[in-house]
Each structure stands twice: as structure tokens, then as C-alpha cells.
């Protein structure tokens, strides 16, 4: 709705990722390549998720529930959303794992090409870049059409908090998700290497909880849907960052 | 994010000096609905900031209110909602003396007499904001109206201050600007008008045949603020239908009207609302017309079948009518008596210009005597001279007859349901409508019947009491025909009678979704030049055309479904003709053929289209465009426009948008700070650069 809003949403949703890219990633060609390839991996995972939706539509005729007015249809929609979310999150984490495996094979070469070949920090650089790639692509796919529409006059109001425009809430959620993907990747790669099942489970559950939390912003049936959603997201982000940081500080300096 | 709504618009039209109507598109503004006078006052006095799209109930529309709204400087656009829930107040957007600046009276009291007491001239005002109209009557506009009403309720709960609020954007672009001359030269506008229709029983009118001409006239076009919402049941449909009914009644006379001592010509003038476009042009052409060239140019708008190319005139049979040969004019003005004091005692008046002229009085006396002879003892109907009982004769009311009398003194009588001022409380207003429950037996039908009988006598030069007493009973108006026609034209054009008329000759069918048609004359453009009587969807000319042929022509009683079924009658040896001759006959437009298929039978007859647009405009046949040739004569044009759009959506306040921007910039700054913090932390605590 107007150019000012468009600019605002652009900065909110993609500002952090663009800043990080310019300041941090762009210094090293390998990191750039890692960002792009992990983005591609995420894209494939979301492609498979879209096939789940397609099947759901075919089998359960989800589209007919879109304009549901009765409670029964409404709850059906929520259940389907949750089920498909579980599948989709599982697929995304699966591809995160697959990317890690690919990275493993290439690690020796990547390390040799990096500035400080023997630095233990390299792993963190790589996982950070992978996470950023995941996050950026996730943000682009989920938010770019909304961003483009926000140039038109007029806006849609958020379901759960009708005083806020929907693109605004979505931009905030997108920026949080970008950061979330970064820290999830850091933890996940560390956990894959050390085979810590608990941590892997935490990433999966954290991702699931964050995805489901965004459902709270759609509807006006639950009071305070928006604030609760953000509280959940920010707390997951906070806790995950804390775990990642602890790992980070425990690096043994050789 | 946005919803588009169907609508109509008060367009821009122009004359020699100025533009009137509403301005082109503008930006978005908050929806604010006003439905009562109290709410109107509240809006005017409020100190709300910003610009509003005012949604006004149609019965609050008048010049004073709109000027007041303009003066508040808070109105970005106006949407007028028509709904038929309450009885609207008496009001007319036309002038108090409609068309008087172009009439026959140029000075004195008659030139400014207030025939239309409820008029305030809104139609001729210019507003600096777009004015759109929507009606709950039209099925495809109902959704939009409800959306606007809901949006306003939402805004009202937030006191029109607390964002986000519903907003509306007007998108209408009017091409024309400045005045008629400018816009015609740029091809941005068209002359307002259409095609008049006239017909006669006589096979041939010859200026030297010793017969004079009785003209029976009526106006067929209406007017109102929104041209798409123009019905005019009481303004002009009554008179139009009476004219057709008289033609039908006289056709049943055992003595064929074509054998009367005088010709009878029925005229249906279009474009009258804008400076007597139809009648003045007709009078001009019958007094001075000369064909300068027959050279056809296929690139030009003038049809190859036109009788003359320069000036472009489709048919020129009107040449045989001259002002000197007109015996008298009888015009059917407003006849429905909708606002009469007592509908059970309808009173009609005969208006004349010169109440001392014996030729004119001949007509009024005949009508009075027919009335008294055929008056039912229990009937409460009344028709009498308008000047009776008045201090002085007020002259002719606004009427097509004025165009004739402006040029030459001719006996003329204008019949109307009013004496000193219009009884129609909604003259040329969007509220001038009537439901099908109203029957016109005692009003329009009865008047038409008396006039038909009077014309039967007048056209045969019969005046004696004996002759008046022996008018054949066949010469009477069919009240079913009158009621059906008025109802069909006002409320449902797809009804049996009019849909069959429209289907004449080629079985054209109507879009069943459209039931109420607009009776605005439209514009006179290239299509109209070819005499296309159904151009621009002006059904009035279309229906008049076929109905008058049916009444004035000879019914061959041969059934048909399309016009080619009647070809054998006109060309008995059609089958034996060669291919070229056949093609030539097939290419001839229906209106130029002598046998047409109307209401299922082959009728031998013709009717004639005549251009109707202000005589201040002329068509230059050499350059094939319209131009102003006299700025002092009527030269109304209508601007061309792009499709009007009305979109409704939410907006948040400007401050909120800047806050969002601030948050965006903040998030970038936070990221930069975070990056440097982590970098320094790593530097400090890991001793690794």
C-alpha cells in the first residue's frame, strides 16, 4: 500500500539477510556458493512439500474447506494444516541433513581453499552460510508475492490483530524465520557431526513449533493470537541462539 | 486487497463556453456515508482531518447540498446511492425553465417563466470532484452498494479517525476539456443526440398536392443526473406512448388515413433535452436543405446508401414537408398526471402561444367539443384551455413545438397535465419512475383517445356537430397497448410487446439481464449518421421506428419471421434475378426497404430517421468530423471517457507507514550492530583474528 510501506516491508523482511550477506558472506567466495547451494536444497524440499499439498487437495479436497464457515470445517482446516506442516518440516530437516552430508564430502576441499585452513571456526562459517541460504530462500518463497502486492493501494488486515496490516506481520515473521534457520543450521550441523540425537530432535521440534505458531496470526477466533505467536517465535529464537552460542564459545582453540 | 464495484458516472459534457459535470479521477479517500439531513449537518460541522469519499443517499442530492459539500474542502469524491425504500422529496435537477434559453421566447416573462418549480439546475453545474452513482435496483450493482455500506459501518465504529479505515479510489478519465469547440476538434467528445423518427400514412407527400400536414409530435428522450439511470415515465414516456397510441387508433379508421384531406405526420424527436436538438434540426432541414454532393467516400462515416453525402443525410423524404404546408401541430407533453392533486380527477390543459389566433383555436375547440361529446357522465376527467381563468396566457411550455414557432407562426397546441407549473415532482430526475401497478386508462389512454378523435376530424377538415357525433367507434385508443408500452419502456424492456418489436426484421434478442433501459438520447456519432435507429442502444428510436411502421403501413397479412420472408412482395421476380442484382437487394438496409417484417407480418410501409443534435454543431462532410458553426445555438457535447472504476480497500495512516519504515531501518541497524558485536566477541575471546 504505497511506496513507503513497500520499502518498510522490504527492509524488515530481507534487511537482516541482506546486511549479513553484504557484511559477512560476501567476503568469501565459498560462503557465497554455500548460500546459493543450500538455498537450492531448501527449494527442492519445499517443492516436495508442495506435492504433499497437492495430494492432500486431491484426496481430502482441501480447497472446498477454504471458504469454511462452520466450526467443523474450520477445525478440519487447522488439522490438515498441522499435519502437512509436520510433513513439510520433516522434509526440510531431511534436506538440511542431506546438505550436511554433501558438505561433509566437500569439507576437505573447502577447508583447503579457505583463509585459515585449520581453523575450527570454519565449520561455523559454513553452517552459518548454509543456514542463511535456507533462510533467505524460505523468506523469498513465502514473502515475495506479499511484498509485491503491497505496492498496490490498499492492504489486508491481519486476522488475529485487525489493527495491523498483514504484510507487516508477515515481514516480521519472515525476518525471524531467517534468523531461526541460521541458528538451526549451526546447531544441526554440530549435532549431525557429533551424532547428538537430542539436539537434532530439538531443531525439528523447534522448527515445528515455530511453523505452527504462525497459524495463530490467521484467525480472529483466538484472542491475542499475534502477541502469542511472536512470543513463541522470539523465545524459540532466543533459546536456540543461546544453545548455539554456548557451542560456539566451547570451541577448543588449537 | 481491493474490490472493484460496478457504477455509473455523472460525465463531463460541454457547450460553447464551459464544461459541466464532474471532474476526472482523483486519489483515495475515506468512506463516509450520509443518509439523513442531520448526518449532513454533522459532516459539515465536523473537524475531521483528511479527504473523504462521501456516500450520499440519493434523496439528499440537490445543488445546495453539493455546493455545501464542495465548500467543506473535505470531499474528494461523491457516490450517490439510489434505493427505493423511501418516498423521495419533490425535486428536479433540471432548470426552473428548462431549455428556455433556446426556446421561442427570448424576452419578457414567458422567456423565464418557472414551469419547473422544483428545479435547481443541478444538471448544468460543474463540480471539482467525481460524482458516481450506484443503484440497488440494478442486480450487478447491489453487491457494490452493500460493500460500501458495510465499509462505512466499519469506519463509523472507528469514528472515521482511527486507522486502518476503508478507503475508496475513483478512477474516471474524461477526455474532453474547455468547451465543445476544443473537444470536437480533438475528437474527444461527441454531440449529444440521436436519431428522431417520423412516419406517415400517406404514400407520398407532395408540396403541390393541395394537402396540408398535421404534425403529431412527442419527445422520446429523457434526462437525469446519471444517464444510465434515466427513465422518465412521467417526464416523456407518457407523451411518447400517447403518440404511438394515436397512430394506432387512427389506423383503424374505415376511411383510410392516407385518403384524408390532409397528411398526418407523426414525429418522435430525440435529443430534445439538450437544447431541442431533434426538433430544431428537423425544422432547419425542412426549411433549408440542399444536397451538394453524392460522391461516396468509403473511408468516411457516411453510409453508401445515404441519399446525400454532403451533407450526410441518410433519407431525404423530409424534403416534401415544408413549414408553409403545416396545417397545425399537436404535441403530447407530460400526460401521466403523476403529481396531479387528485388522481381520480385528472385535469389536462391545452397550451397555445396565441390564444387569439383563429386557426389555433380551431384545434382547441375541436378537442373541447370531442371531449364534451364523448365524455362519460360518471367520468371525472377534464381537458380545457390552459389560459382559461388566468390573468394572461403563459404561452407554450418547453416543448418541441417551440422549435417550429420560433421559425414561423403555425397553429400549435401542446397538451399537458399541468396548467401553470409542472405537476410532475421529479421532472428529469432519477426518481421519475413508476411501478407496473399504476394504470393509465384514465390518464394517458383517455387523453390519447380524445386527441385521436380530434385529429380524425381535423385532418379531414370536419368541424360540424354532426361530423363530431359520427366519429366511428373503431377510432379509439387501445388502453392495453398504452399500459403495456408504458410498463415495458419504464420497467422491463424484455416484456412481450417490446421484445417482439425489437425482434422485427431480424429476430434480434435482448440480453435478459437488462430489464430497465436508459432513455437518455445518447450521442450522435458516426453510427448514427448511417441512420442506424438502434445505435448506441437507444431503444426509444428503435421501438418508435417499428411501432410507427406497424401503425402507418399496410398490413399485408402475410406472416413472416425475418424480413427476407417479405422479399417476394417487393421483388416478385427475385428468384429470376442474377447474382449481382440479388446481392444488391440483399445489401439494402432494412430501413430503406418497402416491406418489413414487424410483429410477425409483412408490413408495407416506411419510417424515416432524422439526425437529432444541437444545431450549433454541424458535420463537415469533406473532413468527416463535427465542428461548431454557431456558438450561440445549442451545441451540447458529451466527453468520451475510459471505463470508470471504483475500488475499495483498507488504508493505514501515513504515520503508521512511517513507523513501519522506521522499524525496517532499525532492524538493519540492529543487524549491523549484532554482526560487529559477535565479531568483536570472537576476536576478544578466541584470540583468533
Whole-number CA gyration radius for chain B = 30
pLDDT at A253: 53
- In tens, the pLDDT along A8-57 reads 999 999 999 999 999 998 888 889 999 999 999 999 999 999 999 898 88
Q: Which three cell numbers stand for residue B213?
A: 400536414
pLDDT at A252 over 60: no
Share above pLDDT 70 across residues of chain B, in percent, rounded to a whole number: 97
- Of B119 and B171, the one with more pLDDT: B119
CB < 8 Å to B675, chain A: 19-20, 23-24
- In tens, the pLDDT along B588-630 reads 889 899 999 999 999 999 999 999 999 999 999 888 889 999 9
For residues A126-134, average pLDDT: 94
> Widest CA span of chain A, in angstroms?
64
pLDDT at B315 over 50: yes
For residues B397-404, average pLDDT: 96
Which among A153, A157, A175 has CB closest to B2?
A: A153
Crossing angle of helices A225-249 and A197-215, in 10° steps, is: 160
For residues B458-463, average pLDDT: 93
The chain-wide mean pLDDT, for chain B, equals: 90
pLDDT at B176: 83
Q: Cell numbers 469514528 label which residue?
A: B159
CB < 8 Å to B649, chain A: 1, 153-155
Q: What are phi and psi of B453, to 5 degrees?
A: -65, -40
pLDDT at B2 over 90: no
- Of A172 and A61, the one with more pLDDT: A172
CB < 8 Å to A9, chain B: 660, 664
B139 touches chain A (CB under 8 A): no
How do beta strands B8-9 and B52-57 pair?
Answer: unpaired
The chain-wide mean pLDDT, for chain A, equals: 87
B660 touches chain A (CB under 8 A): yes
Contact B651 A154 (CB under 8 A): yes
Instruction: Note the ipTM here.
Output: 0.87
For residues B287-315, average pLDDT: 90
**d(C-alpha B574, C-alpha B423), whole Å:** 56
How do beta strands B347-351 and B263-269 pair?
Answer: unpaired
pLDDT at B687: 62
pLDDT at A207: 94
Contact B688 A121 (CB under 8 A): yes
- In tens, the pLDDT along B500-546 reads 998 888 888 877 777 888 899 989 988 888 877 766 567 899 999 99
Q: Which three cell numbers stand for residue B675?
A: 554482526
A254 touches chain B (CB under 8 A): no
Is the Cβ–Cβ distance between B121 and B225 less than 8 Å?
no
B682 touches chain A (CB under 8 A): yes
Share above pLDDT 90 across residues of chain B, in percent, rounded to a whole number: 56
Contact B660 A23 (CB under 8 A): no
Share above pLDDT 90 across residues of chain A, in percent, rounded to a whole number: 50
pLDDT at A68: 60
For residues B148-159, average pLDDT: 89
**d(C-alpha A252, C-alpha B39), whole Å:** 76
Which residue, among B647, B650, B674, B689, would best test binding to A if mutated, counting the most A CBs under 10 Å from its CB? Answer: B650
Which chain A residue has its CA at the smallest distance from B158's CA?
A163
CB < 8 Å to A249, chain B: 685
pLDDT at A161 over 70: yes
pLDDT at B525: 86
Which among A1, A119, A162 has CB closest to B651?
A: A1
Residues comprising chain B, all counted: 689
Contact A16 B668 (CB under 8 A): yes
A148 touches chain B (CB under 8 A): no
pLDDT at B87: 73
Which chain B residue has its CA at the smallest distance from A7's CA?
B661
Which chain A residue has its CA at the smallest distance from B162's CA?
A163
State the DSSP H helix or E strand holding residue A121, giving kind and residue range, or none if neither: helix A121-149
A59 touches chain B (CB under 8 A): no
Residues with Cβ < 8 Å from B636, sequence gap 6 or more? B13, B14, B15, B180, B191, B192, B274, B275, B277, B614
CB < 8 Å to A154, chain B: 1-2, 28, 167, 647-651
Which chain A residue has its CA at the smallest distance from B169's CA?
A153
* Residue B664 Cα, gap to closest chain A Cα (Å): 4
Dump the DSSP string for B417-462.
S-SSS---TTTTSTT----TT---IIIIIHHHHHHHHHHHHHTTT-
Partners of B198 in the beta sheet? B267, B608
* Residue B513 Cα, gap to closest chain A Cα (Å): 28
- Show which of residues 168-207 on chain B sit within 8 Å of chain A, judged by CB atoms: 169
Torsion, CA B295, CA B299, CA B305, CA B311, rounded to 10: -60
Contacts of range B489-497, beta carbons closer than 8 Å, 24 or more positions apart: B489/B233, B489/B237, B489/B240, B489/B241, B489/B517, B489/B519, B489/B539, B489/B540, B489/B543, B490/B231, B490/B233, B490/B237, B490/B433, B490/B434, B490/B516, B491/B433, B491/B435, B491/B436, B491/B515, B491/B516, B492/B436, B492/B516, B493/B517, B493/B539
pLDDT at A254 over 50: no
Contact A1 B2 (CB under 8 A): no
Partners of B523 in the beta sheet? B192
- Nearest C-alpha neighbor of A165 from the set B160, B653, B31: B653
- Nearest C-alpha neighbor of A43 from the set A143, A149, A140, A184: A140
Which among B164, B675, B687 has CB closest to A24?
A: B675
Which among A23, A155, A253 has CB closest to B672?
A: A23
A131 touches chain B (CB under 8 A): no
Is the Cβ–Cβ distance between B602 and B565 less than 8 Å?
yes
Contact B649 A153 (CB under 8 A): yes
pLDDT grade, residue B689 (50/70/90)? very low
**d(C-alpha B506, C-alpha B589), whole Å:** 12
B661 touches chain A (CB under 8 A): yes
Amino acid at each position: 500500500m504505497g511506496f513507503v510501506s513497500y520499502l518498510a516491508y522490504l527492509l524488515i523482511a530481507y534487511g537482516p539477510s541482506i546486511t549479513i550477506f553484504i557484511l559477512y558472506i560476501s567476503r568469501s567466495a565459498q560462503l557465497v556458493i554455500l548460500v546459493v547451494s543450500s538455498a537450492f536444497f531448501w527449494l527442492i524440499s519445499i517443492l516436495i512439500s508442495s506435492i504433499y499439498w497437492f495430494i492432500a487437495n486431491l484426496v481430502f479436497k482441501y480447497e472446498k474447506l477454504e471458504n469454511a464457515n462452520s466450526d467443523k470445517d474450520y477445525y478440519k482446516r487447522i488439522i490438515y494444516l498441522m499435519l502437512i506442516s509436520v510433513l513439510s518440516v520433516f522434509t526440510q530437516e531431511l534436506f538440511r541433513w542431506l546438505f550436511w552430508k554433501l558438505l561433509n564430502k566437500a569439507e576437505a576441499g573447502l577447508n583447503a581453499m579457505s583463509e585459515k585452513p585449520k581453523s575450527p571456526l570454519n565449520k561455523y562459517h559454513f553452517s552459518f552460510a548454509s543456514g542463511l541460504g535456507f533462510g533467505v530462500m524460505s523468506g523469498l518463497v513465502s514473502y515475495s508475492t506479499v511484498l509485491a502486492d503491497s505496492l498496490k493501494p490498499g492492504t489486508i488486515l491481519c486476522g488475529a490483530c485487525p489493527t495491523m496490516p498483514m504484510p507487516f506481520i508477515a515481514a516480521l515473521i519472515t525476518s525471524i524465520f531467517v534468523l531461526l534457520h541460521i541458528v538451526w543450521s549451526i546447531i544441526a550441523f554440530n549435532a549431525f557431526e557429533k551424532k547428538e540425537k537430542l539436539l537434532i530432535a530439538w531443531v525439528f521440534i523447534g522448527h515445528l513449533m515455530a511453523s505452527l505458531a504462525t497459524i495463530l496470526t490467521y484467525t480472529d477466533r483466538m484472542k491475542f493470537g499475534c502477541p502469542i505467536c511472536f512470543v513463541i517465535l522470539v523465545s524459540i529464537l532466543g533459546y536456540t541462539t543461546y544453545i548455539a552460542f554456548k557451542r560456539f564459545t566451547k570451541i577448543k582453540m588449537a | 486487497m481491493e474490490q472493484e464495484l460496478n457504477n455509473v458516472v455523472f460525465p463531463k459534457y460541454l457547450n460553447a463556453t464551459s464544461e459541466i459535470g464532474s471532474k476526472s479521477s482523483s486519489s483515495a479517500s475515506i468512506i463516509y456515508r450520509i443518509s439523513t439531513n442531520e448526518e449532513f449537518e454533522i459532516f459539515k460541522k465536523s473537524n475531521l482531518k483528511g479527504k473523504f469519499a462521501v456516500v450520499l443517499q440519493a434523496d439528499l442530492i440537490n445543488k445546495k447540498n453539493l455546493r455545501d459539500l464542495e465548500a467543506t474542502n473535505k470531499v474528494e469524491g461523491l457516490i450517490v446511492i439510489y434505493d427505493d425504500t423511501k418516498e423521495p422529496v419533490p425535486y428536479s435537477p433540471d432548470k426552473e425553465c428548462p431549455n428556455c434559453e433556446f426556446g421561442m421566447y427570448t424576452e419578457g416573462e414567458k422567456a423565464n417563466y418557472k414551469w419547473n418549480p422544483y428545479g435547481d439546475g443541478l444538471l448544468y453545474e460543474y463540480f471539482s470532484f467525481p460524482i458516481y452513482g450506484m443503484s440497488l435496483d440494478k442486480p450487478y450493482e447491489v453487491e457494490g452498494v452493500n460493500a460500501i455500506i458495510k465499509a462505512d459501518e466499519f469506519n463509523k465504529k472507528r469514528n472515521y479517525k482511527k486507522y486502518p479505515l476503508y478507503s475508496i479510489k475513483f478512477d474516471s478519465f474524461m477526455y474532453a476539456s474547455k468547451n465543445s469547440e476544443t473537444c470536437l476538434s480533438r475528437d474527444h467528445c461527441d454531440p449529444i443526440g440521436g436519431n428522431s423518427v417520423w412516419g406517415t400514412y400517406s404514400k407520398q407527400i407532395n408540396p403541390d398536392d393541395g394537402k396540408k400536414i398535421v404534425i403529431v409530435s412527442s419527445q422520446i428522450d429523457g434526462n437525469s443526473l446519471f444517464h444510465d439511470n434515466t427513465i422518465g415515465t412521467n417526464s416523456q414516456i407518457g407523451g411518447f406512448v400517447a403518440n404511438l397510441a394515436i397512430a394506432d387508433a387512427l389506423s383503424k379508421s374505415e376511411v383510410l388515413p392516407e385518403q384524408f384531406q390532409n397528411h398526418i405526420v407523426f414525429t418522435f424527436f430525440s435529443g430534445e433535452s439538450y437544447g431541442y436538438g431533434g426538433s430544431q434540426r428537423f425544422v432547419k432541414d425542412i426549411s433549408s436543405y440542399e444536397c451538394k454532393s453524392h460522391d461516396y467516400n468509403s473511408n468516411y462515416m457516411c453510409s453508401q446508401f445515404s441519399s446525400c453525402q454532403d451533407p450526410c443525410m441518410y433519407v431525404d423524404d423530409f424534403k416534401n414537408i415544408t413549414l408553409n404546408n403545416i396545417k397545425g401541430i399537436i404535441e403530447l407533453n407530460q400526460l401521466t398526471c403523476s403529481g396531479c392533486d387528485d388522481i381520480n380527477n385528472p385535469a389536462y390543459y391545452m397550451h397555445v402561444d396565441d390564444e387569439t389566433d383563429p386557426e389555433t383555436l380551431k384545434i382547441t375547440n375541436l378537442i373541447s367539443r370531442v371531449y364534451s361529446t364523448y365524455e362519460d357522465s360518471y367520468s371525472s376527467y377534464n381537458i380545457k384551455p390552459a389560459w382559461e381563468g388566468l390573468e394572461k396566457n403563459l404561452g407554450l411550455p418547453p416543448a418541441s413545438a417551440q422549435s417550429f414557432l420560433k421559425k414561423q407562426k403555425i397553429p400549435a397546441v401542446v397538451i399537458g397535465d399541468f396548467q401553470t407549473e409542472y405537476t410532475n415532482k421529479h421532472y428529469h430526475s432519477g426518481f421519475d419512475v413508476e411501478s407496473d401497478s399504476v394504470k393509465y386508462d384514465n390518464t394517458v389512454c383517455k387523453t390519447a383517445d380524445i386527441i385521436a378523435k380530434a385529429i380524425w376530424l381535423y385532418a379531414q377538415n370536419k368541424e360540424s356537430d354532426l361530423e363530431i357525433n359520427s366519429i366511428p367507434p373503431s377510432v379509439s385508443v387501445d388502453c392495453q397497448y398504452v399500459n403495456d408500452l408504458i410498463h415495458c419502456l419504464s420497467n422491463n424492456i424484455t416484456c412481450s410487446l417490446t421484445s417482439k418489436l425489437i425482434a422485427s426484421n431480424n429476430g434480434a434478442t435482448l440480453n435478459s439481464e437488462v430489464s430497465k433501459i436508459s432513455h437518455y438520447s445518447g450521442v450522435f456519432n458516426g453510427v448514427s449518421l448511417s441512420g442506424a435507429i438502434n445505435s448506441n442502444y437507444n431503444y426509444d428510436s428503435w421501438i418508435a421506428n417499428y411501432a410507427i411502421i406497424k401503425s402507418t403501413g399496410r398490413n399485408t397479412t402475410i406472416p413472416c419471421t425475418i424480413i427476407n420472408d417479405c422479399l417476394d412482395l417487393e421483388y416478385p421476380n427475385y428468384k429470376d434475378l442474377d447474382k449481382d442484382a440479388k446481392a444488391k437487394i440483399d445489401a439494402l438496409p432494412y430501413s430503406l426497404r418497402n416491406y418489413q417484417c414487424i410483429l410477425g407480418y409483412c408490413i408495407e410501409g416506411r419510417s424515416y430517421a432524422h439526425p437529432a443534435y444541437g444545431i450549433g454543431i454541424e458535420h463537415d462532410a469533406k473532413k468527416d468530423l463535427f465542428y461548431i458553426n454557431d456558438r450561440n445555438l445549442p451545441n451540447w457535447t458529451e466527453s468520451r471517457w475510459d471505463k470508470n472504476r471504483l475500488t475499495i480497500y483498507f488504508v493505514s495512516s501515513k504515520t503508521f507507514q512511517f513507523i513501519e519504515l522506521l522499524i525496517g531501518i532499525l532492524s538493519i541497524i540492529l543487524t549491523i550492530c549484532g554482526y560487529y558485536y559477535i565479531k568483536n566477541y570472537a576476536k576478544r575471546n578466541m584470540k583468533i583474528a
